[in-house]
Amino acid sequence: MAILSIVNQNSCEEEFSLREVPLKINGKLVNLQLRPWVSLLDALREYAGLTGTKKGCDHGQCGACTVLCDGERILSCLTLAVMKEDAEITTIEGVGTENELHPLQKAFIAHDAFQCGYCTPGQICSAIGMLNEGKAQNREDVKELMSGNLCRCGANSNIIDAIMEVKNETI
Amino acid sequence: MNNFTYSKASTVQDAVNRVQQGPEAKFVAGGTNLIDLMKYHVITTDALIDVNHVEGYHAIEARGEGGIRLGAFMTNAKTAYHPIIEQQYPLLSRAILAGASAQIRNMATNGGNLLQRTRCYYFYDVNTPCNKREPGSGCSAIGGYNRIMAILGASESCIAVFPSDMCVALAALEAKVNISGPHGDRSLAFTDFHRLPGNTPDIDNNLSHGEIITSIDLPSKGFSDNYSYLKLRDRNSYAFALVSVATALELEDGIVRESRIALGGVAHKPWRSAEGEAFLQGKEATKENFTRVAEIILTGAAGYQYNSFKIELAKRAIVRNCMMALNPETQLPGAQPSR
């Protein structure tokens, strides 16, 4: 730790130590006590108790940890919670209610768009982000723009069917 | 990940000052490659300096002399979908959208794209020798599984490739990289930014510690009439290139007035060939001439046990992509080969 010899030791320990990180998650302000190296994904699952967001690879290769950050889909495993202090985070727990599912949640059920379900929260958050972006014109575009979410059960074609249904309804 | 301190910089000067606290201090913007490398213990840091809150570098602005300036902290997605980029620099838009996934493009920044590290498997595996990760330890790729490795400009120390798509287009468009640092501001031509491995493959580019990319300038010429980006990979989307090609042509009555051809996935930096582009000047834009250019560009290419196929693949990709540039509307999402 070269920095310890250069910077005042007390201030350094202070920065290493727990800090209060205010996060706006699903419309609610939550103050978490975190160290700087806690990923947003771990903050959600281990500190905020929101286990809907899944840890697949933890390296940005599978998309299972996709959440919405100010309405844009991002990978919560590749960002630090402290970097998102001012952002509005939406997880799968925040997209619908028990009584009124999000249209994509309904469509995923109707189209049997999952088997094990592990990738589903990320798929749905990613699809919400993709529809917000408004760049997909057709099925080929949707497939390309959803390629960051892997499904190892092989439900991909049903996933695209479900997304296409919602996309066509919202046009 | 090892333990580190975290602070937010308020200005570029503040960021530059903070990163000089120690040799291991690093800037973070999108973090999509850096945080991953930290998880693998390929990179360790004692201080992360978050530059996302530094204002003034998140947008595209017009420049007086023509051309535009891309803010370094603007995301890849916002850049690719910006109307100016879509209309005047569609080659850049296409290349960016061929890279990574939508989620990562929403996070990754323009400056960070230039600074991403190779995806060589051995660079990522801290249990194997790698001259880029640990100078002097050896190169595991040369005698190992080297399907994705370099065929041009490699050395006995390193055969890794630079993985960016965006940078292949920036090389073709002859961008300029603007840098701030402890000794003031400077600019580098895009082709001078990244470097070949030589016997110091641990050094990816000509940025010094303490320096930060603040913006990227594009000249006014965007080649929006005849351009194409083609990316060939082991799966159709969300994978790094085995070979990619950015082609920009200026045509007059079927004659090539100017050409830019840059390759990705084949070298330690985006690859351009002055000889190849000079050959095309004044020639007819035909498959025969593009085939001859491909031969010139791949002169000196050398393969290893598992990647020699890339030499022929690169030649065919150049020809295919030059033909696609004659009809840019034939391009498919994700820079896949047209049918």
Helices (H), chain B: 12-19, 34-39, 76-80, 83-88, 90-97, 102-107, 110-115, 121-124, 166-172, 190-193, 274-280, 287-297, 309-326
Q: Across the interface, which of A6, A15, A140 has its CB nearest the CB of B7?
A: A15
Domain residue ranges in chain B: 5-53, 227-330
Q: Across the interface, which of B6, B23, B32 has its CB nearest the CB of A60?
A: B32
Residue B141 DSSP class: T
Chain B residue with minimum CA distance to A3: B22
- CATH superfamily assigned to domain A103-170: [2Fe-2S]-binding domain (1.10.150.120)
Strands (DSSP E) contained in chain A are 19-25, 28-34, 66-69, 72-75, 88-90
Predicted confidence band at B40 (pLDDT cuts at 50, 70, 90)?
Answer: very high
Residues of chain A with CATH 1.10.150.120: 103-170
B39 to chain A, any CB pair closer than 8 A? The answer is: yes
- The answer to whether B270 and B264 are in contact (CB under 8 A) is yes
pTM of the model: 0.96
Residue B134 DSSP class: S
pLDDT tens digit sequence for A17-52 = 789 999 999 999 999 999 999 999 999 999 999 999
> What are A's interface residues with B at a Cβ cutoff of 8 A?
1-4, 6-7, 12, 15-16, 35-37, 39, 58-60, 63, 66, 69, 72-75, 78-80, 82-83, 126, 129-130, 133, 135, 140-141, 143-149
Residue % of chain B over a pLDDT of 90:
95
Q: Across the interface, which of A36, A73, A130 has its CB nearest the CB of B48?
A: A36
Residue A3: both structure tokens together: 């920095």
According to the model, what pLDDT value does residue A117 have? 98
pLDDT tens digit sequence for A86-127 = 899 999 999 999 999 999 999 999 999 999 999 999 999 999
B5-53 shares its CATH topology with B227-330? no
Residues of chain A with CATH 3.10.20.30: 18-94
- A30-60: b or e for each residue (b if 16 or more CB lie within 10 Å)? bebebbbbbbbbbbbbebbebebbbbbebeb
Task: For strands A19-25 and A88-90, give the pairing.
Answer: parallel
**Which of the two residues, B145 and B21, has the higher pLDDT score?**
B145
CA gap A155, B279 in Å, rounded: 50
Instruction: Let me know how many helices (H) and strands (E) chain A has, helices first.
Output: 7, 5
Burial of A118 (0-12, 13-18, 19+ CB in 10 A): middle
CA gap B87, B68 in Å, rounded: 13
What mean pLDDT value characterizes chain B? 97
Q: Of B218, B169, B162, nearest to B194 (Cα)?
A: B162
Do A60 and B39 count as a contact with CB atoms less than 8 A apart?
no
Q: Does domain B5-53 have CATH number 3.40.50.300?
A: no
- CATH superfamily assigned to domain A18-94: Beta-grasp domain (3.10.20.30)
B residues 97-156 near A, CB within 8 Å?
100-104, 106-107
Residue A112: both structure tokens together: 């049997």
This complex has an ipTM of 0.96
- Topology at the third CATH level for domain B227-330: Enolase-like; domain 1 (3.30.390)
Do B35 and A63 count as a contact with CB atoms less than 8 A apart?
no
Predicted confidence band at B64 (pLDDT cuts at 50, 70, 90)?
Answer: confident
Residue B293: both structure tokens together: 């250019």
- The answer to whether B161 and B270 are in contact (CB under 8 A) is no
pLDDT tens digit sequence for A125-150 = 999 999 999 999 999 999 999 999 99
According to the model, what pLDDT value does residue A5 have? 39
